[in-house]
Amino acid sequence: DIQMTQSPSSLSASIGDRVTITCRASQSINNFLNWYQQKPGEAPKLLIFSASSLQTGVPSRFTGSGSGTDFTLSISSLQSEDFGTYYCQQSFTTPRTFGQGTRVEIK
């Protein structure tokens, strides 16, 4: 199985801050990397697919980058509604695997 490792596990930031989350795959996955946001009690929501493509309806403050084994999700200016847990997920091979999650808290 491909292991996905996110860092940090949690972070606290202020409104307007730039936030960066990293995701590392245990082997190259080209650009087969997706990012999701999950709020408590809700299903995950797709934010970014294929490493850098913004899902329809997702604000442009979210950007994804990377290829191979190292990826980042950035929020250019954190908003109050951006709290939650963020997961990366590889779609390079089965079994599909997720990172352990990064919890984002608003200061």
Partner 1 sequence: QLQLQESGPGLVKPSQTLSLSCAVSGGSIISAAKAWSWIRQPPGKGLEWIGFVFQSGNTYFNPSLKSRVSISVDRSTNQFTLHLYSVTAADTAVYFCARTPNWVDAFDIWGQGTMVTVSS
**Chain residues that interact with partner 1, rule: CB under 8 A:** 1, 32, 34, 36, 42-46, 49-50, 53, 55, 87, 89, 91, 94-101
- Shortest separation between residue 16's beta carbon and partner 1, angstroms: 29
Angle at 36 between CA 35 and CA 39, to 5 degrees: 155
From residue 104, how far is each of 15, 26, 34, 61 by CA, in Å? 12, 24, 18, 15
Closer CB to partner 1, 16 or 41, in the complex: 41
In the complex with partner 1, the residue whose CB is nearer, 10 or 77, is 10
In the complex with partner 1, the residue whose CB is nearer, 71 or 87, is: 87
Please name every residue paired with 70 in a beta bridge, in sequence order, or none if there are none.
24, 67
